Amino acid sequence: MNFGSSALVLAVVVFATHASADPTQKSEDIVKFFAGAGNLGAARGICVGTEEECSSKSETNKAPAKKSSLDMLINFGLDSAELDATARSELDEFAKALKDSRLSTLSFVVEGYTDASGSARYNEGLSQRRAKSVTAFLTSSGVEAARIKAIGMGENNPRAPNPYDPVNRRVEMRISAQ
């Protein structure tokens, strides 16, 4: 993963329907997940010894791999950037987490995506509107606008192999390392 542009990925997955308005992720869970975001990797050191000794030391000291993404269920209808009640509930929990003092120094890039329905130019605009919709909700919930930047990615980087799959209609938030 390139830590120059982002530290972690927060994938906000877009699905066509939701059964309830209860948030999947609670704000405290989100805070705990991202609380260590300032740690961008293991410390580097020099090992003095044989190749075998150093190799065995590094194997023993390896920390378990940290999960790099957090999925939340957000409802965007086809050809829509409007947030439904379930999406608002999910984003409300995310806004609470961002306002927590443990995450107050982090900034995010909100990337909007679409499926392949529509022209590339239209999809760029729609993805931008989706990112702005999420950003507007977060700022209206008290998150500082300077901490969030919205960009549209169109139909680039589909999440599912089928370019028309609704799962490709999503918003991803990346913790900015800049």
Q: Does the model's pTM come out above 0.95? A: no
Task: Specify the pLDDT at position 110.
Answer: 87
pLDDT by residue (tens digit) across 71-92? 566 667 789 999 988 888 889 9
The pair of three-digit structure tokens given for residue 74, joined into one six-digit string: 């957000």
The pair of three-digit structure tokens given for residue 94, joined into one six-digit string: 């995310």
Q: Residue 172 is part of a domain; what is its CATH number? A: 3.30.1330.60
The pair of three-digit structure tokens given for residue 19, joined into one six-digit string: 């059964």
Q: Which residue has the higher pLDDT, 22 or 36?
A: 36
In a domain, 160, yes or no: yes
In a domain, 153, yes or no: yes
Residue 2 has pLDDT above 70, yes or no: no
How confident is the model over 29-34, as a mean pLDDT?
82
Mapping DSSP to helix (H, G, I), strand (E, B) and coil, where does residue 89 land? Answer: helix
Which of 4-13, 21-30, 37-46, 99-108 is least confident? 4-13
In a domain, 106, yes or no: yes
In a domain, 58, yes or no: no
Range of the domain at 112: 67-176
Which of 12-26, 72-86, 109-123, 141-155 is least confident? 12-26
Instruction: Tell me the range of 1-5, 6-10, 39-43, 133-137 where mean pLDDT is highest.
Output: 133-137
Q: Which residue blocks in the chain are alpha helix, DSSP H?
A: 27-34, 51-61, 85-99, 120-140
49 phi-psi bin (left φ>0, alpha ψ -120 to 50, beta other):
left
In a domain, 74, yes or no: yes
The pair of three-digit structure tokens given for residue 72, joined into one six-digit string: 């939340």
Per-residue buried b or exposed e for 44-82, using 16+ beta carbons within 10 Å of the residue's own CB: eeeeeeeeeeeeeeeeeeeeeeeeeebebbbbbeeeebe
In a domain, 144, yes or no: yes
Q: Which residue has the higher pLDDT, 110 or 43?
A: 110
Q: How many domains does the chain have?
A: 1
